Structure 1
């Protein structure tokens, strides 16, 4: 039986419903719906048939107890002479006996009690409300952080300007004009920075207002006692209550510092920008945990149909599975050693298969494996990434030739760019493993050879510049940085798993550490692979402990806020 919460809002004194006296009313009979005094509770009320079985509560508790809804008197919208008796899940509608006999005969397995349907809809609404609240919390967190950025920039502004003015006071009058130009330049920097931040703050505030409005709509619908109205509006509510936090910039420009020069007209001082990566507050929450029979989840590819492709190169197989409740149901299993996978725009798989220099395409409908135009011969591809611009980035290696290279390949198979040596003709990479890219065109890859320290290499688009992240002195104080897999987040940052520390390092698009998270804090051990789902969640695939022979690697579906 479904329930709603009755809420006692009125403070107006009422008479006893049985004796009509103005005595102090202390009780309510939930079954009768009567408010009664002490005397009638022990007297007149007990004369009512079966009153001894009634639920009598203190009026102080009104609103805390659930009251039954009446599902027996809902008129059918198509047959006004009849009342609805069941709910059809297939048609998502209430039905009367005539509806069942004329339209829903073949829907027997989809017909359920109205009360059960009500409970299902209430649960769905509450889940939607929970999602709205979670998105609102994300917006609040983001807004707080942006306000901190704004305050920090104002504080920095208040520090930089006096430095400029103090230095200007020591200069001759002839250079006063240049000092004013510097001041104006800082003002323009601040104006541009605050405009950028204020734009995001405005969008977040609008989103929060929208969240509050949608939350109120859902709250009203949950508390309504008009069941007919409930079912007429609940479907529309599902369609209209989608609330998403607008994307904001992952980082902002910062006011340049002032560096004083000698007191000469040619060297008054200059403004110089400094790298100021945004520090993030990160939160992980496990949504679901799945047990596999694999020794390692080398890679995960989520699909738009909610299924996932799982690669276990150590077990020599790739698996297509569907999450069903708490279980992953295997749909297909291909026995082959695959080093890397990527999804195409047509939702087929690109595979780097053992022994082949040319990428293979797996048709996920037919299971047929065919050659592609993406070839890195004489090297062997070991990692693949598809960009938003429909290009393919391939990591190729050859131990025999002692070559390791990264290829940017267009859809025709042409090698547009090859990264292999620096300007001194020295190898760029030790052993590149996993690769991703960000919207600014930078390529980020994991470079790690067993027995050596690892790093994340950033190849800057349109430049010879190469940045690298070698781990954090505090995080990797006792255990060296051993990066394994890398993925780009929805905010254009990158996340990297660290084999020995169980830390996920979070970097900006230039390879600077902006946050980190210890997955042991939520019970995730030995994280190895990462994947972003089409709906914004993250899959974390695990490996087994060093020295173990168990085949019980786990996969976690988590939500991550803040990055």
Structure 2
């Protein structure tokens, strides 16, 4: 209650049964004074009388405020009361202010201005209340995230420590093996040396005895000793054959990169939302996002290309092209689609017109347009020597279709044990030093770091193959041949499509394992879609908003309804 209630009626000053308050007079009244005295005063006819139970309510506070602002004194002329509001200066003013300062300003009734300001304050109150609710909810979510994060942190920390212990045990085992090998070699060598030393001593002793005997014969005056001496043993004496001298081993310590041994700490993408769209194409071998919920999809086994609007209760086909085998699709910056079709690169305009963009003397397999409108084309070209059939090649073209770079040959520089090969492209290599870089480059992608990702399939019936990462010079920076985890040993790595998230993670659909591999510096996961009910992911696309679109292959399951998935990643 904003005012302290008087102990007695402020009219009669005797009654203690205070029941009423006059807001205008700011007096507390008893029942009798309110009904018999205060109500009969002519000037109090318009006074606002409230029951004590109403004191402190929002309505009463508003009434008091209204009474107070009508008596509000001018800040400039303290003896004057404000009665109008200046919109230019955004303040209440008195009559003198109008004459002196605010002559050409926009004025309004102070009551109107007050109601407007009060409405703004009320709106601000609602907004603040909403913000408080939002912040409270966020606080709750953050606290939940903190608990989950701490739990996850401890789990990862346990994994790291367990891995550390495994590495220590493995190093200890390897150290013991090498030490045991060294001890065994030295034991055998030492035994051989000791045996030879013993033989040396025995032979030397025998020779010394014979030497002494001969010395006696030569010193003797008796000629019979010379005739009796047995010279045969001396002439036929064979020195023993000793074993090889002790082997001198060397120990070559290997450089250990601890991070490579333990593993890498990389943020795994979090699925925030999944939208599922039904479609009538059982096998979506290529998907490309156009705008909103419009996508281009194709089935190159049935030679069908469609543009679909998925933003309907039932999808709506906007355009269908039959008898056209589209191997790959990529969008230009201005919203046109470049299609890989046989020995042509075709363009599908936003108005639905199909035109030939470029005719090339090779079989195009894939196409990618980067942010600079460069075209990356994977293709097959006939072998000029005829004996190898067709060779894989990757071209980089400018906007006019001129070839600026070609990748097709490499020289092996180093082949390590970890699926990594470094190679380079150089026209100066001799023919016998060159090897073909690609078998069947079915997908190509220019990454945000300006590297070139290529899916190279070596088996066209199963799509078994690998993923190559090249730099602009054509050097093979990395080869990825699939996951080596225990659950994947029975599956070939069959990469089909690639995409790059806004956070530079590489996604690879694998039709051998029916999964999506997520790569950072190392493999993050190869079971990205197993737990969320996506069957047979085939084609991939990341749209401008960073959402992942997945087209599936349901051709082997007549009962399964074909679908397109749109996944929002964090």
Q: Structure 1 length as normaliser, TM-score?
A: 0.49
Higher relative contact order (CA 8 A, sep 6+): 1
- State the TM-score, normalized to the length of structure 2: 0.49
Q: If you compute each CA radius of gyration, which structure gives the higher value, 1 or 2?
A: 2
